[in-house]
Amino acid sequence: MKVELKGRPIVPGLARGKALVSKKPLSFLGGVDPETSIIIEKNHDLNGQEINGNILCFPHGHGSTVGSYVLYSLVKRGIGPKAIVNETADPVVVVGAVIAEVPMVDGINIGQIGNGDVVEVNGGKGIVRIVKRKKPCI
């Protein structure tokens, strides 16, 4: 059964992939290794996880405006997220997503998305569809 979440369109585009979900804000400057796309922010719930190729879902960004450039450079090097889903869009993340052309939606309760769920993001319509839930470990 597909679940459709409606938010606010931020950056148009379509993407499908596995959700990488965090309950904590994320800074691209100092929080993500620009060489590997691995989250390195201390005490972050996704520390050690790679954002490359995932749909990155987190409440909002924080940190320096240079984070916009870090996001852009990750995408241009082919190691960025496929899309970004936020509860509240942060200007730093929005600018990075716009210049890198990463589909982005905000106004989504990311608590409804599970880590590893397969999701589709329509940044132009502000829609996030959960198309497949990750099977729980037994």
Q: Which residues pair with 8 in a beta bridge?
A: 106
Query: For 26-36, what is the mean pLDDT?
Result: 95
d(CA 64, CA 49): 21
Which is the catalytic residue, given 37, 64, 68, 73? 64
The side-by-side arrangement of strands in the sheet containing 3-6 is 3-6, 127-132, 118-122, 14-21, 55-58, 83-86, 104-106, 8-11
Domain residues for the domain of 41 are 3-132
Domain count, the chain: 1
Residue 127, domain member (yes or no): yes
Domain assignment present for 138: no
User: Nearest-CA neighbor of 75 among 11, 23, 25, 6?
Assistant: 11
Q: Cα(11)–Cα(82) distance, rounded to whole angstroms?
A: 12
With vertex at residue 82, the alpha carbon angle to CA 79 and CA 85, rounded to the nearest 5 degrees, is: 125
Q: Looking at the domain assignment, is residue 85 inside a domain?
A: yes
3-state secondary structure (DSSP) of residue 88: coil
Catalytic annotation on 64? Answer: yes
Give pLDDT, residue 2.
80
For the four alpha carbons of 25, 78, 115 and 47, in that order, the dihedral sign comes to negative
The CATH number linked to 121 is 3.50.30.10
pTM of the shown model: 0.95
Taking all residues of the chain, what is their mean pLDDT, rounded to a whole number?
Answer: 95
Whether residue 28 is contained in a domain is answered as yes
DSSP string, 28-87: STTTB-TTT-BB--TT-TTTT-B-TTSEEEES-B-S-THHHHHHHHHHHTT-S-SEEEES
Say what the pLDDT of residue 117 is: 97
Domain membership of residue 137 (yes or no) is no
In a domain, residue 15? The reply is yes
Separation between Cα atoms, residue 50 and residue 87, nearest integer Å: 21
Which tens digits make up the pLDDT trace of 63-113? 888 999 999 999 999 999 999 999 999 999 999 999 999 999 999 999 999
